[in-house]
Amino acid sequence: MWKFLHKMASPPYFYKLAKTLAPWFAVPGILLIAYGSFAGLFVAPPDYQQGDAFRIIYVHVPAAYLSMMGYMIMAIAGGIGLIWRMKLAHAVAAAVAPLGAAFTFLALVTGSVWGKPIWGTWWEWGDPRLTSELILLFLYFGYMALRGSIDEVAKADKASAVLALVGAVNIPIIHFSVEWWSSLHQGATLLKTGGPAMDSAMLYPLLAMILGSSLLFGAQLLRRVRTEVLYRERRTRWVRNMILSPEAPA
């Protein structure tokens, strides 16, 4: 078991492994998203309260979920890199940041679009989830800005890992405080689908979208980490050998 993990931590081994793994994530992911999108748009019945407007949850919920997951991956990878000094972990953290930020942005846009028919406006400060997502976007920007300001890669890795860990500890607190803040104002309808329990015809496409998006996220992350590893190790012997060898390009 330790030998496997040790092997995993080696950049050249991971580089090859990620290449073979990525399609196994991407193909099921795309298939699930295809099913989820179709079923979500055409098969699931309209919501008794929101009509067809609720259908955006099929994009919004996976995006919001992945935006949080992305930050957690960033923080955990950073922590592993910091404590166990694993270079690959730092590469994962660097690679996931823009990906997570993009999904956060997507969650915000879809959340705003969802809100328009319900609130009548493109933005409602009273909605705690939307406000929390916005703060999460700022956290991502701060992380990427810190990374960008430090020239030396090793130093940037360590500093941003500390920041990500501090942010991860604060995220539950931010959520709780924004919930409390919005609860002080009555009258802001929250973004959620109506009904005591979700109809299974509504639920299955949602689960498919969540799972499919996660798999696709994983596939993208693997590819991004590969690129990140290649860049970081560009001066090492194994990269040079790989580029110069006569076999097909990686």
Name which of 93 and 208 has its Cβ closer to another protein.
93
Q: Could you give the CA distance from residue 28 to residue 122 in angstroms, rounded to a whole number? A: 34
Name which of 49 and 183 has its Cβ closer to another protein.
183
Name which of 16 and 155 has its Cβ closer to another protein.
155
- Closest distance of CB 95 from another protein, Å: 20
Q: Could you give the CA distance from residue 6 to residue 122 in angstroms, rounded to a whole number? A: 49
- Closest distance of CB 61 from another protein, Å: 23
- Closest distance of CB 166 from another protein, Å: 5
Backbone angles phi, psi at 193, to 5 degrees: -80, 145
Residues that bind another protein (CB under 8 A): 82, 135, 138-139, 141-142, 145-146, 149-152, 154-155, 158-159, 162-163, 165-167, 169-170, 173-174, 176-178, 180-181, 184, 235
Nearest to 191 by CA among 103, 111, 104: 111
Name which of 24 and 180 has its Cβ closer to another protein.
180
Q: Could you give the CA distance from residue 114 to residue 108 in angstroms, rounded to a whole number? A: 10
Task: Give the DSSP letter of residue 182.
Answer: H
- Closest distance of CB 105 from another protein, Å: 15
Nearest to 179 by CA among 131, 214, 219: 131
